[in-house]
């Protein structure tokens, strides 16, 4: 079953072509498709956004790599388009947002469970509890702004509960930075994990920054501002796990491998044949891109790519619910904070710690995440369903009035 | 292509889709207390606070000339601007409906090409009428006035339904129904406003438009109702096979 990435050459780069009709396909169904189909689409859009972002950053600083990067990047932009355009138009930005947080919870949980390095695993659990709280805040917003049930998007896979409260997640920038893995000793899975979650979080940030201004309600606008700020923290935190001493080509090879791994994971999960076919096609495309990059790596660095790549791909990401794990983590680590790269109990930090000063300043005009979810407990059918029930049936209602 | 709306399928949005998981998350939600006290009124308080500080969304551009009026003339111009914009957008809605009609066909008691085309032309001529009035009043008919913007934000979902290829002709009629309901009320209020301002000749011309709108509403409502009733009786809606050059059942 495991994919041998050295043997499998995929589709050569010059045969990775599209048409506009091909790029703009029938979207998945918001109502009928499984929540994890949406999760995969949102997640892979983030992975591909990062493929572009990484290559652009490198191209700005490297003359020799500009041409090979341009060639791969154009295909990746089209792959991302095809994926992102699978989101259906009846899915509002807020509904897609609920999907983003479900990605951040379930994918990060899968990663945290399998991460062999305990410090990185701790970091994933730390971030997980914060995204877990975001789902609850956005869920409250969805219920209270539009009168709709957030669980119709998350489909009973994921708890909608307060996590580590968003209002206490705000930290001094220096308390978001972590110790990177060591490229010489870290196993490939550790690198794949760190790159994947960094990509997902960066896209989450960019998405909130794009859709936040579309909202008319001031609390919604504030909440997007607040959570976007946390996603920027998460991006800083996760990207600081990456070893800055990896060479540029080493990073590029691992990134292509990471893309193969993630497409392959979606392929292993997906049941909708129309979507599955796309994951198969892009697994093959990314294998082609990986080999293109391996060649470049071997040419330039004179090293064997087998030194850095896994022989076969690790087990696919678990696109499934992780409620037990998340609840256990919440139970044990809700009150964690960070002091520089170290995790500590929040109560053990001095009251004048730089992160407290920072967060008190930001929250001093009120806290959007507290306002939106004040007294909120998720109830099936929205909190109004419970209220309507207390009011009695329509028939009884008529009798009363 | 799908012509029906209410078919049985794998909808996963309700808690009954996975009773075991649902029972589990309901229990967990009841056990965990909210992190902060209060209720849904706090959002409204912040909204009120911002409302107090707000300057509105914008203004009506100054008309070049304003004849015989000692009232606030920009109100009339604003409402005319709204009407012109809404009628103009209405044309696009009916173009979209006709495109769906051509590919999906109709049903017994459903829309006809003639009916849809007639309404489309009415909306276009109403747009022309109001633009002309605006010009005569010395106002700029191409300006987006505040009321025009409010009406457009209000009806943002209408073009979204009409242009979504996954939503069929019957779904589209629901959007048209919303449009026509607003359309009717809009003209009624515009006529009242015109009379109140002493624009009696205008009011009479607007009354003709309102008469047409009343017919639009009846037509659209009946088409939609016939479609829903037919599908409920398990009659395939529509019967005609789709394809280019299709002759719809009229
Ligand atoms: Fe988040
Ligand atoms: Fe996050
Ligand atoms: Fe790639
Ligand atoms: Fe009209
Ligand atoms: Fe009309």
Optimal mutation site among B15, B36, B167, interface A, most CBs of chain A within 10 A: B36
Mean pLDDT of A238-258: 98
Optimal mutation site among A133, A145, A153, A218, interface B, most CBs of chain B within 10 A: A218
Residue A4, helix vs strand vs coil: strand
Q: Is B19 within a domain? A: no
The residues near A311 (Cβ < 8 Å, ≥ 6 apart) are A4, A6
Mean pLDDT of A52-68: 97
User: Percentage helix, strand, coil, to 5, in chain B?
Assistant: 65, 0, 35
Among B223, B112, B97, B242, CA closest to B167: B97
Q: How far apart, in whole angstroms, are the C-alpha atoms of residue A59 and residue A51?
A: 12
Amino acid A391: pLDDT: 83
Label residue B250 by pLDDT band (50, 70, 90).
Answer: very low
Percentage of chain B with pLDDT > 70? 92
Q: What is the average pLDDT value for chain B, to the nearest integer? A: 92
pLDDT digits (tens, 9 = 90+) for A330-363: 999 999 999 999 999 999 999 999 999 999 999 9
Confidence check: pLDDT of B248 > 70: no
B63 with B137: CB under 8 angstroms? yes
Label residue A395 by pLDDT band (50, 70, 90).
Answer: low
**Closest Cα of chain A to B39: distance in Å?**
5
Label residue B242 by pLDDT band (50, 70, 90).
Answer: very low
Range of the domain at B119: 73-233
Label residue A147 by pLDDT band (50, 70, 90).
Answer: very high
Residues of chain B contacting A165 with CB distance shorter than 8 Å? 35-36
The lowest-confidence range among A392-401, B12-21, B139-148 is A392-401
Amino acid A56: pLDDT: 98
Q: How many domains in chain B?
A: 1
Tokens 């391996």 -> residue: A294
Percentage of chain A with pLDDT > 90? 95
Q: Is B87 within a domain? A: yes
Residues of chain A contacting B54 with CB distance shorter than 8 Å? none
Confidence check: pLDDT of A401 > 50: no
Residue A337, helix vs strand vs coil: strand
Instruction: Tell me whether residues A374 and B39 touch, CB distance under 8 A.
Output: yes
Label residue B237 by pLDDT band (50, 70, 90).
Answer: very low
A392-to-A384, A387, A388 alpha-carbon distances in Å: 12, 9, 7
Residues of chain B contacting A158 with CB distance shorter than 8 Å? 25
Confidence check: pLDDT of B239 > 60: no
Residues of chain B contacting A222 with CB distance shorter than 8 Å? 46
Residue B250, helix vs strand vs coil: coil
Label residue B240 by pLDDT band (50, 70, 90).
Answer: very low
Label residue B51 by pLDDT band (50, 70, 90).
Answer: very high
Instruction: Tell me whether residues A376 and B34 touch, CB distance under 8 A.
Output: yes
Confidence check: pLDDT of B170 > 70: yes
Q: Is B212 within a domain? A: yes
Amino acid A228: pLDDT: 98
Q: Is B36 within a domain? A: no
Q: Is B205 within a domain? A: yes
Amino acid B246: pLDDT: 41
Confidence check: pLDDT of B159 > 60: yes
* CA–centroid distance, residue B126 to ligand 4 (Å): 7
Residues of chain A contacting B22 with CB distance shorter than 8 Å? 151, 156, 380
**Closest Cα of chain A to B34: distance in Å?**
5
Q: Is B247 within a domain? A: no
Amino acid B236: pLDDT: 52
Q: What is the average pLDDT value for chain A, to the nearest integer? A: 96
Instruction: Tell me whether residues B30 and A31 touch, CB distance under 8 A.
Output: no
Exposure class string for A325-341: b at 16+ Cβ within 10 A, else e: ebbebbeebbebbbbeb
pLDDT digits (tens, 9 = 90+) for A103-115: 999 999 999 999 9
* CA–centroid distance, residue B202 to ligand 5 (Å): 19
Q: Is B1 within a domain? A: no
pLDDT digits (tens, 9 = 90+) for A6-30: 999 999 999 999 999 999 999 999 9
Amino acid A200: pLDDT: 98
Tokens 């606008």 -> residue: A221
- Interface A-B, measured as beta-carbon pairs within 8 A, has a size of 115
Burial class (CB in 10 A: 0-12, 13-18, 19+), A245: exposed
Amino acid A66: pLDDT: 97
Amino acid B86: pLDDT: 98
Label residue B245 by pLDDT band (50, 70, 90).
Answer: very low
Amino acid B72: pLDDT: 86
Q: How far apart, in whole angstroms, are the C-alpha atoms of residue A172 and residue A158?
A: 30
Q: Which residue of A has its CA nearest to B167?
A: A90
Burial class (CB in 10 A: 0-12, 13-18, 19+), B115: buried
Between A185 and A399, the more confident residue is: A185
Confidence check: pLDDT of B241 > 60: no
Percentage of chain A with pLDDT > 70? 98
* Secondary structure element (H or E) that encloses residue A247, with its range: none
CATH number for B145: 1.20.1260.10
Mean pLDDT of A363-368: 98
Label residue A394 by pLDDT band (50, 70, 90).
Answer: low
Confidence check: pLDDT of A1 > 70: no
Amino acid A249: pLDDT: 97
pLDDT digits (tens, 9 = 90+) for A24-36: 999 999 999 999 9
Confidence check: pLDDT of A400 > 90: no
Amino acid B85: pLDDT: 98
Mean pLDDT of A193-217: 98
Q: Is B34 within a domain? A: no
Mean pLDDT of B214-221: 98
A235-to-A2, A227, A242, A285 alpha-carbon distances in Å: 30, 12, 11, 27
């Amino acid at each position: 079953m495991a994919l041998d990435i050295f043997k499998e050459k995929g589709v050569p780069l010059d045969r990775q072509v599209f048409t506009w009709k091909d790029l703009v396909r029938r979207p998945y169904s918001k109502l009928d498709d499984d929540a994890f189909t949406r999760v995969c689409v949102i997640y892979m859009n983030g992975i591909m956004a990062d493929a572009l972002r990484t290559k652009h950053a490198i191209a700005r600083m490297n003359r020799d790599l500009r041409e090979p990067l341009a060639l791969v990047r154009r295909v990746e932009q089209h792959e991302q388009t095809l994926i992102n355009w699978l989101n259906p138009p009846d899915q509002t930005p807020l509904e897609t947002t609920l999907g983003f947080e479900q990605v951040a919870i379930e994918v990060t949980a899968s990663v945290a469970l399998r991460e062999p390095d305990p410090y990185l695993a701790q970091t994933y659990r730390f971030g997980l509890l914060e995204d877990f709280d975001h789902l609850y805040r956005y869920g409250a917003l969805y219920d209270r702004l539009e009168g709709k049930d957030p669980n119709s998007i998350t489909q009973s896979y994921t708890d909608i509960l307060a996590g580590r409260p968003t209002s206490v997640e705000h930290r001094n920038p220096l308390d978001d930075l972590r110790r990177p893995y060591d490229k010489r000793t870290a196993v490939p899975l550790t690198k794949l994990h760190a790159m994947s979650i960094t990509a997902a979080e960066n896209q989450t940030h960019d998405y909130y920054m794009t859709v936040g201004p579309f909202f008319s309600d001031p609390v919604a606008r504030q909440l997007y501002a607040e959570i976007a700020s946390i996603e920027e923290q998460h991006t800083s935190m996760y990207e600081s796990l990456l070893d800055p001493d990896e060479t540029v080509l080493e990073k590029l090879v691992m990134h292509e491998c990471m893309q193969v791994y993630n497409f392959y994971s979606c392929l292993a999960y997906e049941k909708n044949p129309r979507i599955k076919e796309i994951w198969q096609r892009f697994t093959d495309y990314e294998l082609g891109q990986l080999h293109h990059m391996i060649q470049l790596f071997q040419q330039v660095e004179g090293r064997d790519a087998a030194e850095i790549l896994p022989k076969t791909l690790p087990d696919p990401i678990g696109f499934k619910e992780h409620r037990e794990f998340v609840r256990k983590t919440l139970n044990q680590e809700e009150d964690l904070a960070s002091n520089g790269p170290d995790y500590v109990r929040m109560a053990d930090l001095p009251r004048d710690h730089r992160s407290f000063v920072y967060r008190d300043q930001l929250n001093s005009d009120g806290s959007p995440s507290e306002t939106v979810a004040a007294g909120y407990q998720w109830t099936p059918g929205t909190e109004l369903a419970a209220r309507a029930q207390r009011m009695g049936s329509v028939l009884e209602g008529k009798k009363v009035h | 292509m799908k012509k029906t709306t209410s078919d049985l399928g794998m909808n996963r949005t309700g808690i009954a889709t996975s009773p075991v998981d649902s029972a589990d998350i309901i229990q967990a939600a009841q056990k965990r207390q909210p992190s902060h006290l209060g209720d849904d009124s706090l959002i409204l308080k912040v909204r009120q606070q911002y409302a107090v500080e707000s300057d509105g969304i914008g203004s009506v551009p100054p008309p070049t000339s304003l004849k015989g009026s000692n009232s606030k003339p920009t109100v009339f111009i604003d409402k005319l601007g709204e009407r012109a914009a809404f009628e103009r957008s209405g044309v696009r809605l009916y173009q979209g409906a006709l495109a769906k009609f051509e590919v999906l066909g109709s049903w017994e008691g459903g829309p006809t090409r003639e009916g849809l085309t007639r309404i489309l032309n009415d909306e276009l001529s109403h747009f022309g009428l109001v633009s002309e009035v605006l010009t005569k009043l010395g106002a700029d008919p191409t300006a987006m006035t505040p009321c025009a913007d409010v009406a457009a934000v209000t009806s943002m979902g209408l073009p979204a339904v009409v242009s979504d290829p996954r939503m069929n002709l019957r779904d589209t009629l629901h959007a048209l129904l919303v449009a026509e309901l607003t359309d009717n009320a809009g003209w009624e209020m515009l006529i009242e406003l015109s009379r109140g301002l002493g624009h009696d000749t205008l009011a009479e011309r607007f009354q003709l438009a309102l008469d047409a709108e009343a017919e639009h509403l009846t037509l659209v409502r009946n088409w939609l109702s016939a479609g829903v009733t037919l599908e409920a009786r398990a009659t395939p809606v529509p019967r005609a096979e789709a394809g280019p050059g299709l002759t719809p059942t009229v």
